[in-house]
Every structure is written in C-alpha cells, then in structure tokens.
Amino acid sequence: MAGFYNLDHKEVIRIKVKKCDGRMKPEYKKFSIDPQITSFEMLQGILARAFEINSDFTICYLAIDSEGQAVYLSMLSDWDMDAAFQCAADPCLKLKVDLRPFEEELEDWDVIAPAEIPQHRITSLLDKGSILGTITGTITHNLGKTVNTMQRAIGLKHADEVIKPLKPPMSDMEFKNYLDSEGHMIRPNEFRLSVYQGGIEPSLRRVGWRHLLNIFPVNMSGQHRFDYMKRKEEEYRRLREEWRERFKNNTATEEVKYVASMVKKDVLRTDRCHGFYAGSDENENTLSLFHILVTYALTHPDVSYCQGMSDLASPLLVTQKDEGQAYICFCALMNRLRSNFTVEGNAIMTKFKHLSELLAMYDPVLHSYLLQKNAGDLFFCYRWFLLELKREFPFTDALYVLEVMWATLPPSPPPVELELVDADYSCKLFSSSPCSPTFTIQQAMYAKLLAMRRVGALHLATQAPLPIKQKPAGGLSSDNQVLLHPTLISSYDASPVDTDDHGSDFPQVDNPMTRSMQMKSNSIDQILQEDGSLYGKEYSTIRNADNSSGDSSSSDSSQLEEGAGEEELNRVDSGHCSCISLPVEECKSFTFTNILVEEENHERSWSVNSVVSDFSDPPTQFELSLDSNANNSTDNIELHTIHSYDSDKGNEPHILEKVTRDVGNGKQGETTESNSGIFQSMKRLLSSPKKKPTDVSPQASPRMSGGPLHKQGSAPILSPDHEMGLKLAKNYSDGNIADCKDASESIEGIATNGGGAASSVRDPSKLPPPQEFGEGNPFLMFLCLTLLVQHRDKIIQQGMFYEDIAMHFDKLVRRHDASRALHNARQLYTEYLRAQQSNMEKDKDVEDLGFSC
C-alpha cells in the first residue's frame, strides 16, 4: 500500500458500488464523495440509503494486491476507508456491499485480469450478467413503487428541492465503453442514454456529436470513420470550390450571388458575441460559417438558404472546429430539420399544434388564458421551434441542451453514407435561372401561420377586415413580386461596376504584413467581391481597400485551412481502427425506448420495470455527489406545482445509478443485441400495436440478422484503445460538470398553484406517439412546455397579451436556465414515455407482461 503514504489529497472520490443480496442479482450505483469530510460512518449511511438497506451489510473494496491480482479487502473502519481512498480510488473506488456477512462472488469483479486493462476501463470489469441481474434483481422490488416514484418525480414541489444533474457529462473514458476495441459504435442506445442524462464533456463533443447527428453509417470502425470523414471533407471541398470558382470566373448565377449576399449578412451577426466568432468581420470562423451555408444552399436547391440556418450551423462549427466536418454535421442535422424550412411548413404547424395540446394537458389554466388573449396558437414560439431552442439558452448551455435533445432522437444512420448534396443538385445549380423557387416555397409556411393568426386575431378582427388597398389591375401579385425579387437584384447588378478597376479608387496596399493578413483573412467580401457585380460599385470601392489581394489569396488560405483540418481529424480519430458493427435498422428506434428499456431483461418483457428502477432510489443517495450542481431552482419546480400529484419527497428521479449500471456492465455484445431486439420490438409495436414483440416479421428479419454478427464481434472490450484514451484524457478533467453550470440567473416566474385541476386531465398517454409528437422530436415539446410554464404566473398576473408574451420571451433570449429546463423536461418526458409505453402494452396482448423474473 505504498500509495497510502503518498497523501495526495483528492478532492473527490468517485465510487462505484455493487450491491449483492443473496440470490438477487447485483445492483450498481455510482456517486462521489468528498474524502475530507466523509467518515466511514457517513459512507455506510450513504450506502444504506442508496440501496435502501435496512439490515446489516458489509463493505469491501476492490484493490490490487502486490501480485497484481484483484482482491476484495474489507472496509471496517475509517482507517480502511482512508486506505481505500489512497490506494484504490483511481479512477474510482469500487465497493461491494454485501447483505450477507460472507462474500463469494469475487469473480464477478474479476472477469478480466486487471493488468490487461487500464484502470479507467473499470466498466469492463463488471460482470457480463449485470444488466440482467440488475433488472431481475430489482424488478419485483421496484415494481410496486412505480407509481410513487413517478408521482414523486413529477407531481411535487419541494422547497428544498435542488436540481442535480443525472450524471456527470460523458467523458471520453466513458465514451469508449460504447465502442469496441476497433472503434465500432456498439452500444449506440446506451451512448444516447448517457448523453441524455448528462450531456457530453466539451472535449468530447466534437466526436460525440458526430454520432448523435447520425453522420456515420453503421458498421464503421474508427478507422472507417476516419477515412469516411476525410472522404466527405474532400467532397465538401469540391462542392465549395465549385461555387467559389464561379465567383472567381464571374460566372456565378444571380441566384448564387443572391444566396451568398444573404448568407453574408447573416453570418456577420450570428453568435458574434461568442469568442469563436468575435472580432472583426474577417473572422475566419465567420467565413467558414459562410462557406458552409452557401455550399449547403446551393447544393440543396429545394431548401436553399433561409434565416435561422446560421444559428443552427454555428454550434456545429464551434464544436467541430473544422469547416468540412461542420458541413457534414450540418447536412446531417438538416436532414432532420429541413422540413422546418421548406414546403408548406407543416412541420412547424404540427409543432404548434402539439405544444398547444401539451400545454392544455399540463397547464389548462395557462392554456385557456392564452386562448383568451388570442395567443393560444403559441406563434411566439416560432423561433424556439425553428432553432430548436438554440437561441434561448446561453451559448454553452445551448450546446448541452442540443445534445441532450439529440440523444432522445432515434439513431438514424445514413443507409449507405451521408449525402452532402441533394439528388437534384447538379442540374439545378447549373441552370442559371435567376430566381430561386425556394423562396416562394419557404414563405408559404409562415404565411400560413400568420394567416391563421390574422383570422383568429381577436384584437385585429373585432370588425370586418378592412378593405385592402387595391393595386392597379396591372399590379404584380405579391407572389410575383417575390419571385421577381432576385431579378430586381440582377438589374442592380448591372449598374456600372467592374472588378477590374475597383482597385484604382484606392491605392493598392501592398506590403508583406498586409498581404499575409489578407491571405489569412480570406474574407467573405473577397469572395463576393470577386464578382464585383454583386454589391455594386460602392461596395467595391468601399471594401476593396481591405481586400485587394484577390483570388489567389483565398485559394491559398483555403488550402492551409484544409490541411489543418485534416491534420486535426487525424489526431482525433487515429485512435480508432477496424471493423465490427451494428445492424442499421436495429438502432432506429427512439432513445426513449432506450431510456425505458435499456435495462430491460432479456426475456423481452417490457420496461415498466426498468422505469421503476430509474426511480427507485431515495433522493438522498447523491447528496455528496461530485455533481451537486448547485442549481438555482431551489424554490420552484414550476411544473410540479401545477399538478396536484400527491406524493412524498421528490428529488431528481433519474438515473444516476442506472447509468452506472449501463456503463458498468461489460457485456456489450449481448446487451446491444438484446437492446436491439427490444428496439426492434418496440419499433414494431409502435407501428403495429397488435403484434407481439416476439413475432419476427419478415421485414424484421434482415435487421435481426445483424444480431449474431454483432454479438460475435463485440466480445468484451478487452483491449481498449490506449492511444485514443490517453489522447483524449489529456484535455479532459475527470468529474467536471462541464458546461451546464453557468445557467443564467433564475427566472422569477414561480408557478404557485394555477393548475390544480390539471391532474385529472393529465394523461400523457393521450399525446401522440413519440415518432409523431413534435414531428418526431417529443423532447423539444417538453422543453418548450417547461419554458412556457416557468413564466406562467408572470404572464397571467400581468395580463399579458400576445405581443407582451412574445416580448417577454424575446427578452429571455439566451437567458433561460438550461439545467432547470432540462430537469423539468426530463421528468415530463419520462412520464410521457412511460405512458406511451403502457399504451402500447394495452394495445398488445397482455399476457406478455408476465415478467419472467
């Protein structure tokens, strides 16, 4: 115990606990304590509460003896505990709690010789039966408590309630548990579950987001992903150069120029307060954002560019720190979100409708108030939907919110690979039609919303509509005008401008310093200016002083930039290597199923019980948690107060201990397979409720076929990827709570008891199913609900009208409290999923419910 004397005081000790209780399967929990203030007695108390142990129990800790063997040593005193802290707590202390005085299960912890794995891969140590064991062990125990815990989770307000994170953000150590030794993502659902619960550490976001955003096809090893990214980046560069060439050759169509000028205006005011985009308009990152958006608009003519996209792309670039990689992510994100920008806006309309339903269910008082004030359509939430709340939270918090929300979405990897262009790209780009059809399409959506608004507007419609001032018969219809707009621009473009002589108005500034700065800046203006007609003469005369270096510099610097990007990618991904995989389809179900089902037993029973286990633990168990994210919502969990659920103490009902189990069990193969199977079943259930999950329908079998393959390939993670681990570990500080802490000041709206009647109405099972709710993003709906309800009292008490409400929320841009919103939304979401699940259970034959434990 040499370490014992090297008293390097740790500030925090992370502890993983395995509880054994006779023939019951072990339970796992994870928490952190402060070694300076924790006595052995306190530790005992924590453990007793955590596992709800009423009887005597013994504590052992896992240590490595002098021969490198893992042994359990008894912990009987403060002395033992200190010894354990000193010598066995890196990276975390593994405890075993045994309800019987004698232990017999050492091998459970010892499947893999510790010498073979680095310490941080502790999870590999865990018994491969742990999931099964945990579940079967706790099902009976927990089932009876479901209702209680749900109520506790959702229905109550406690003055002393403190929002705690479900778990620390995902570290790269943890992340590697979801990969096999060659970097295959073998546990995508557990990965998502973990992100859902705690987000991702900033240093891991770059990689984590790529998975969340579904840019990789399944079955990719780390090496494959690396190659894939490189190839895709190359493809992006080609696409980008196509239009940049046009500017250089002055062959850009009016549309291209129009799009570029639009995008330019917007990137210059997108997140400029964030350090990444701060400074002058020549900021390279702003330029990258410009490139991404223009390239996307031109290669996706049906979507083109629409305001709001820059807000969506910005966090991706911040996170990826590389233009090409951010573009790839953006394409993937837009695959899901493009419907917000296109066609008739049905996607957005549906979201309004669903949010309204949700509000009516959870806060009928507020809902009817809004109706009465003619704000029932909730159109002031338009930005929330369009940007998926990105702008509602402080930037860093928004990253967290985004990833948590993405994690609730079902994995949907591209079937072959991610397309960087629309199918109709090439033909459309080359046609030099002066006007983009997309603009007229796009406008239809919001017009529709507002038409509705207008029709229903109390304050506008007290009388018959005013006669509209008529245009002369020859006047253009409004739509025509829009269509013509780009044409108009083109006529301005014909104003006397030429790129050739724009330098003559200003002396050419040419010294090495300036040149290199110019080379670096490679400004947007320069690109646009290459075709001087875009801005007209004044533009060039005004700007060219800064941008006189011309075409060559832009290509030069882009080369530099690309090279750097590659190198960076290399660094990040080189740790991965080859091949195993998941069957594509299997992961395609909502992570919500994961949230519910991930602990599911292998007998295919459904997961009410797993929910139970989520909520089964006394809230005190994490009191000393490292993550005691001192949250400022101490006094009011608004949603709670609205509902008159009657229950006892409610604290964060979620799932820290469950995560521990997830992460802790090393049996990826079976786990994934079983999860996949469950997801499979879940999916089929969702689509055809009458079917039993056991029925393997013909169309399902191909997916199932992936199971054995996967199982085969995903033998325990025996040889972790040291290189990557080390690399990532470098800039990673274990146990950090990352970015979710600096939530903005608590917002004052305190719901008191406006919705006492709500509980009778509230039945989330009546909401649309997850794949439909919120147009496939139910969690967004719950987040929006929490934001609304947090301000209900203010809205009602001040008698706000539509405009007042809209103004109120406009003022809260970037000021909402992310932790609090997520906390509430998670609770509601869990309740919703649970209700949805029991819906399905009702629908299917009930005999399957016999939990075979």
Partner 1 sequence: MSYAYLFKYIIIGDTGVGKSCLLLQFTDKRFQPVHDLTIGVEFGARMITIDGKQIKLQIWDTAGQESFRSITRSYYRGAAGALLVYDITRRDTFNHLTTWLEDARQHSNSNMVIMLIGNKSDLEARREVKKEEGEAFAREHGLIFMETSAKTAANVEEAFINTAKEIYQKIQDGVFDINNEANGIKIGPQHSPASQSLNVGGSGGNQGGNCC
Which residues are at the interface with partner 1 (CB under 8 A)? 262, 265-266, 268-270, 272-273, 306-308, 310-311, 379, 382-383, 386-387, 391, 438-439, 442-444, 446-447, 449-451, 453-454, 457, 459-463, 465-471, 475-476, 478, 481-482, 484-485, 488-489, 492, 495, 535-536, 538-539, 542, 798-801, 803-804, 806-807, 810, 813
Instruction: For partner 1, give the closer residue by CB, 307 or 647.
Output: 307
Whether 137 and 661 have beta carbons less than 8 Å apart is answered as: no
Task: Identify any residues that bridge with 185 across adjacent strands, giving them in sequence order.
Answer: 179
Structure tokens belonging to residue 457: 């507007």
Helices (H) then strands (E): counts for the chain: 36, 5
Neighbouring residues of 785: CB distance < 8 A, sequence distance ≥ 6:
355, 358, 359, 362, 363, 639, 825, 828
Instruction: State the minimum distance, in angstroms, from the CB of residue 335 to partner 1.
Output: 20
Report in angstroms how near the CB of residue 6 gets to partner 1 at its nearest: 52
Q: CB-wise, 534 or 724, nearer to partner 1?
A: 534
In three-state form (DSSP H/G/I as H, E/B as E, the rest C), the secondary structure along 199-257 is: CECHHHHHHHHHHHCCCCCCCCCHHHHHHHHHHHHHHHHHHHHHHHHHHHHCCCCHHHH
Query: Least distance in Å: CB of 472 to partner 1?
Result: 10
Task: Tell me which residue of 837, 822, 816 sits closest to 770, measured CA to CA.
Answer: 837
CB nearer to partner 1: pick between 695 and 810: 810
User: Residue 467 CB, nearest distance to partner 1 (Å)?
Assistant: 7
Q: Which of 628, 630, 633 is nearest to 816 (CA)?
A: 633
Three-state SS string over 465-515 comes to CCCCCCCCCCCCCHHHHHHHHHHHHHHHHCCCCCCCCHHHHCCCCCCHHHH
Q: Which is nearer to partner 1, 71 or 483 (CB)?
A: 483
Handedness of CA 834, 837, 839, 844 (dihedral sign): negative
The span from the CA of 230 to the CA of 224, in Å, is 10
Query: How far, in Å, CA of 332 to CA of 414, rounded?
Result: 9
Nearer to partner 1, 268 or 371 (CB): 268
Name which of 152 and 543 has its Cβ closer to partner 1.
543
Closer residue to partner 1 in complex, CB, 124/314: 314
Are the beta carbons of 204 and 730 closer than 8 angstroms?
Answer: no
Which tokens is 174 given?
């943890």
Q: Are 97 and 16 in contact (CB under 8 A)?
A: no
First to last CA, the chain: 42
**β-bridge partners, 15:** 31, 93
Cβ distance 366 to 358 under 8 Å?
no
Minimum CB separation of residue 297 from partner 1 in Å reads 11
The residue (of 111 and 444) whose beta carbon lies closer to partner 1 is: 444
Structure-token pair, residue 334: 């837009």
Query: What's 412-445 look like in SS3?
Result: CCCCCCCCCCCCCHHHHHHCCCCCCHHHHHHHHH
Residue closer to partner 1, measured from CB, 310 or 319: 310
The amino acid that residue 614 corresponds to is D
How many CB atoms are closer than 10 A to CB 803? 12
Give the tokens for residue 226.
Answer: 């690396």
- Rounded-to-integer distance, Cα 318 and Cα 327, Å: 12
Residue whose CB is less far from partner 1, 438 or 824: 438
Output the smallest distance, CB 492 to partner 1, in A: 5
Closer residue to partner 1, CB minimum distance, 471 or 766? 471
At 806 the three-state DSSP class reads helix
Return the HEC string of 679-699: HHHHHHHHHCCCCCCCCCCHH
For partner 1, which is the closer residue by CB, 448 or 741?
Answer: 448
Can you tell me whether residue 161 is helix, strand or coil?
coil
Of 25, 24, 31, 99, residue with least CA distance to 60? 99
- Closest CA relative to residue 214, chosen from 410, 432, 363, 382: 410
Residue among 457 and 519 whose Cβ is closer to partner 1: 457
* Nearest distance from C-beta of residue 722 to partner 1, angstroms: 45
Q: Please give the structure tokens belonging to residue 665.
A: 């069990």
Q: Which is nearer to partner 1, 470 or 699 (CB)?
A: 470
> CA–CA separation, 515 vs 531, rounded Å?
20
152 or 257, CB closer to partner 1? Answer: 257
CB 443 to partner 1: min, Å: 4
| Minimum distance from residue 738 beta carbon to partner 1 (Å) | 25
Of 402 and 489, nearer to partner 1 (C-beta) is 489
Residue 474 beta carbon to partner 1: minimum distance, rounded to whole angstroms = 12
Rounded to the nearest whole angstrom, what is the least distance from the CB of residue 292 to partner 1 in the complex?
A: 16
Helix (H), strand (E) at residue 117: none
Q: Are 398 and 315 in contact (CB under 8 A)?
A: yes
Are 685 and 194 in contact by the 8 Å Cβ rule? The answer is no
CB of 341 to partner 1, least distance (A): 8
Closer Cβ to partner 1, 274 or 604, answer by number: 274
- Between CA 681 and CA 498 the distance in angstroms is 65
For residue 202, the minimal CB distance to partner 1 (Å) is 23
Cα–Cα distance, 302 to 234 (Å, whole number): 23
Shortest distance in whole angstroms from residue 271 CB to partner 1: 9
Q: Which residues pair with 64 in a beta bridge?
A: 70
> In angstroms, what is the minimal distance from the CB of 524 to partner 1?
13
Instruction: In angstroms, give the least distance from the CB of 523 to partner 1.
Output: 16
* C-beta of 471 vs 692, nearer to partner 1: 471
Q: Whole-number minimum distance, CB 491 to partner 1, in Å?
A: 8
Q: How near is the Cβ of 294 to partner 1 at its closest, in Å? A: 15
